[in-house]
Structure 1
Amino acid sequence: MMLSGKVIIITGACTGIGKAVAIKCVQEGAKVVINGLEDDLGVELIGFLGNENAELVIGDITESHLPNLLVETAKKTFGKLDAVVNNAAFIATSDIDNTEIAFFEKMFKVNTIAPFALIQASTKELSNNGGCVVNIGSINAWGGEPHLLAYSVSKGALMTLTRNLGDSLFRQKGIRVNQINPGWVLTDKEKRNKKEQGMKDNWFEDISDFFAPAGRIFKPEEIANMAAFLLSDQCGPVSSQVFDMEQFPLIGRNMPKDIIITK
């Protein structure tokens, strides 16, 4: 098991990609501290993972006390901290005409500042243990879609944070920092969102090959597999890198004018 003995904090871990990462980490021998907003789903996940393998901290990651609470919980419950996965995110549509400053600030607070705060709070413990950070971004970080303005910019800022800290923290403290930029992922929330937008229940079974040359979009478990590798010692001294998990080239791909999607 490639994460045997490691203790990992995972934010946004009650659902979606974060939940898949938590499950994969435990399967690979790690102990996890999971954070999220959905108390009932968090308790259910703890029951699945086992109390001996996981601890739950419910709370908004933007609250100033949460980063230190997560670090102290890891130390108190499992004796140390080896890694952090910044997965919690705020995803909402906006464009140049309807993006208010308060909305923009909230997007940055959740998607960029909160990950920074958790890394900052974790630095001492991670340095002691030769630890690492994996940030979950989005392929929208490279520019994004017109109706995902604020979200795309916040993920672009996270990508720069990853590049910067991945170099400086590795050189100064031996802490690796990397990022995964997922493309379109079939989470339970994505299924519900598309259904609420009027699409049929099985919309994901009939996706244009323009968006999914493989005939399907990514599973959360596939993102989790990449995260587990980056968290492991098998990754070696890789740091300050961004891994795009997408099915097609991002540069030079022309979007049809009549198609708009949300990743």
Structure 2
Amino acid sequence: MAGFSLENKTAIITGGASGIGEAISKKFATQGANVHILEFNEESGANIVAAITKEGGKATFYQCDVSNHKQVAGIIDTIAKENSIDILVNNAGIAHVGNLEGTEESDLDRIYNVNVKGVYNCMHAAISKMKEKGGVILNMASIASSVGISDRFAYSMSKGAVLTMTLSVAKDYVTEGIRCNCISPARVHTPFVDGFIKKNYPGREAEMFENLSKTQPIGRMGKPEEIANLALYLCSDEASFITGSDFPIDGGFIKLNG
């Protein structure tokens, strides 16, 4: 299989049935991976597995709340009984809009439980399995982990934690043959973005979509497939010398703004 083959690799992808996660699931499957999708929404999970298998790929869906430590551990144990775990992509996450004063304790807890504890739960469950022969962990951070974004207090907190967890795991397990990196996207056009605009700016959807697109110096939002392409490279053997790194994919947002 040409370029960045994942043939005979077992990949676990959280939040792998919509947006960026869906694109990663499909991309990995086309490159030969046996894809295991952990997804909260049962309908979405079933649909993406059907789409992948229709194209000849291999995929399995597990309904999962990544914030539930026991549930995550049980699912990953089940996967490991049949397959060595080669790749873990921690993509599942939720957003919150609000500054410090606009963030209730319940908001903070909700974001933390999914975006931080969820990543911890999956890595904690998978790392001992990966130590047997090495593997790759890829975490989905955000440009909000390294630059100030207005009205994203809780979200920025969570993605900053994802970045530093990535560095810690990369350092602690580099001698075990485990690589750990993260991707930091800017705004990517997903169903979440469309839903956010429709909810908050009814009747002004086209205008707001254009405004949000222009916040990227490149003049548009990213595409989920573009993030998936980077994820594929970082999880492939071609990236075997890369660990402990954060990869902004942001249309120039960090370096060209300001």
TM-score, L = length of structure 2: 0.90
Give the percent of matched residue pairs that are identical in Structure 1 and Structure 2. Answer: 28
Task: State the match for 1:88 in structure 2.
Answer: 92
Residue 191 (structure 2) aligns with? 188
For the pair 1:41 / 2:44, whether they are aligned, the reply is: yes
CA apart distance, 1:120: 1.3
**Which residue of 1 is the match for residue 150 of structure 2?**
146
Distance 1:97 1:204 in 2: 25
Of the candidates 58, 75, 87, which is equivalent to residue 53 of structure 1?
Answer: 58
Specify the code of the residue in structure 1 equivalent to 2:120.
Answer: F
- Is the 2:66–2:121 Cα contact (8 Å) retained in structure 1? no
Q: Distance in 1 between matches of 2:133 and 2:163?
A: 24
**Is the partner of 1:145 in helix, strand or coil?**
coil
- CA offset at residue 142 of structure 1? 1.1
Task: Identify unmatched segments of 5+ residues in structure 2.
Answer: none
2:127 aligns to what?
A: 123
Which of residues 58, 61, 67 is equivalent to 2:72? 67
Q: Which residue of 2 aligns with 1:3?
A: 6
Partner of 1:100: 104
The code of the aligned residue for 2:41 comes to E
1:30 aligns with 2:33: yes
Partner Cα separation in structure 2 for residue 61 and residue 209 of structure 1:
30
**SS of 1:34 mapped into structure 2:** strand
Cα offset for 1:112? Answer: 1.2
Distance 1:141 1:154 in 2: 8
Greater fraction helix = 2
1-side partners of 2:189 and 2:213: how far apart?
Answer: 16
Q: Secondary structure at the match of 1:133?
A: strand
The answer to whether the 8 Å contact 1:84/1:132 transfers is yes
Contact 1:33 1:73 in 2 (8 A): no
Contact 2:10 2:85 in 1 (8 A): yes
Q: CA deviation at 1:214?
A: 2.8
Q: Distance in 1 between matches of 2:210 and 2:120?
A: 38
Match of residue 250 from structure 1: 254
Paired letter, 1:108 = Y
Query: Which residue of 9, 21, 28 maps to 1:18?
Result: 21
Report how far residue 143 of structure 1 moved: 3.6
- Alignment correspondent of 1:164: 168
* Cα distance per residue 1:131-173 (max 9 Å; x no partner): 01000011001143231101101100110111111111113x1
CA distance in 1, matches of 2:253, 2:220: 16
Take 1:111 and 1:10, find their aligned partners in 2: how far apart are those partners? 14
Code of the aligned partner of 1:162: T
Aligned CA distance change for structure 1 residues 204 and 20 (closer, same or farther; 3 Å): farther
Task: Please give the alpha-carbon distance, in whole angstroms, between the structure 1 residues aligned to 2:145 and 2:166.
Answer: 12
Question: Which stretch shows the higher mean deviation, 99-108 or 29-38?
Answer: 99-108
Deviations 1:15-67 (CA, angstroms, capped at 9, x unpaired): 11111100000011101110111111111111111187111111211112222
Q: State the Cα RMSD in Å.
A: 2.0
Deviations 1:70-99 (A, max 9, x none): 3123224x5221110000112011212122
> Quick check: 1:113 aligned with 2:117?
yes
Alpha-carbon deviations, 1:203-257, whole Å to 9, x = none? 5873477523333210001001101111111102211100000122525833xxx
- Cα separation, 2, equivalents of 1:160 and 1:216: 29
Contact 1:14 1:37 in 2 (8 A): no
Deviates more, 1:239-248 or 1:47-56: 47-56
TM-score, normalised by the number of residues in structure 1: 0.89
